[in-house]
Amino acid sequence: MASNAPSVMNGLVAVPPGISWTMPEKSMAWQNPPRYTKLTEIADNYINILSDPELADDVLDSVESGVPIAVIAETLMLHGVQGGFHTVDMGTLVMPVIIEMLRTAAEVHGVEYITFPSEAEKGKTVTSRMAREVVNEVLSAKMKPAPEREEEMPMEQEKPKGLMARKQMENM
């Protein structure tokens, strides 16, 4: 029998459709009044969250792997809405602050970034981490002696077997 409680996966809460009809009223964070109502309070909250070195490192890894900054900012904003920190409209107004904070962090750490998903479609960029890995692989391959290759003999093709195999015509 399925439970009406939301499932938790990797710290995120997956909410099934129609939950408001089956759960007690105001039992979820987004059904209550938001914790922050002023834009400055919400912006300060996101600045404090993004100032955490561990989170900043994870976000910069995502940025370096090619995830657009606007997508990360939108994810953070929607997580704040789901957590009951602010409303969707206030989250939309604070999005430029989150994007600028992420862009500044990327520039300070020397990480190349894509701001919007439309920029990602224009040209695929190679991150510095990917370039370093390729260079290291090539250099390590040059240091190793190449194994001698034996000439391969062409093998006869096996005839298809089984009920649905096509019949092969031999020597026409």
Tens of pLDDT, residues 60-75: 988 998 899 999 999 9
pLDDT band at 11 (very low <50, low <70, confident <90, very high): low
* Residue 77, pLDDT above cutoff 70: yes
Tell me the domain boundaries of the chain. 36-133
pLDDT tens for each residue of 18-58: 776 777 777 777 778 899 999 999 999 999 988 888 888 88
DSSP readout, 55-123? HHHHHHHHHHTT--HHHHHHHHHHHHHHTTSS-HHHHHHHHHHHHHHHHHHHHHTT----SSHHHHHH-
Q: What is the pLDDT of residues 106-142, one digit of tens each?
A: 999 999 998 888 876 665 555 666 666 666 776 666 5
What rounded mean pLDDT belongs to the chain? 78
105: nearest Cα among 135, 147, 134, 62: 62
